[in-house]
């Protein structure tokens, strides 16, 4: 049990600094954007059935980073995030919207021909 207590005590300075950082402007947005970007990457990397949802998490991350960059006056980061937002929209269109429309169209055709 003392091992965990030692570990907690060793982490105390970092935890204190992290809590102070969260009080800064845009820190929660930065945390949100980071978490969404990482989770989106994980979904895509796993190539599972839910992988296309990674693009939605990327889009949420892009919104957060756009807000963060604008709030801190990081113009080049803002421009970069506009580019990433465009690729996220292409990903959403390609991996979510097109398959959904195709599925709906296929169902209409099957119904029309009596299958």
Per-residue pLDDT of the chain (115 residues; tens, 9 = 90+): 577 888 888 888 888 888 888 888 899 999 999 999 999 999 999 999 999 999 999 999 999 999 999 999 999 999 999 999 999 999 999 999 999 999 999 999 989 998 7
Q: What is this structure's pTM?
A: 0.80
CA distance 72 to 21: 15
CA distance 78 to 85: 10
Q: Angle 53-72/27-46 helices, nearest 10 degrees?
A: 150
CA distance 67 to 100: 30
Query: Cβ neighbours of residue 85 under 8 Å, at least 6 residues apart?
Result: 59, 62, 63, 66
Q: Where are the domains of the chain?
A: 2-113
Q: What is the pLDDT of residue 1?
A: 59
């Amino acid at each position: 049990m003392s091992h965990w207590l030692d570990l907690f005590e060793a982490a105390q300075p970092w935890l204190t600094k992290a809590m102070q950082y969260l009080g800064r402007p845009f820190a929660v947005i930065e945390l949100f954007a980071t978490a969404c970007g990482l989770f989106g990457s994980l979904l895509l990397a796993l190539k599972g059935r839910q992988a296309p949802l990674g693009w939605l998490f990327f889009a949420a991350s892009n919104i957060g980073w756009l807000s963060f960059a604008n709030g801190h006056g990081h113009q080049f980061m803002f421009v970069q995030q506009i580019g990433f937002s465009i690729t996220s929209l292409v990903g959403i269109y390609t991996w979510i919207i097109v398959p959904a429309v195709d599925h709906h169209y296929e169902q209409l055709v099957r119904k029309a021909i009596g299958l």
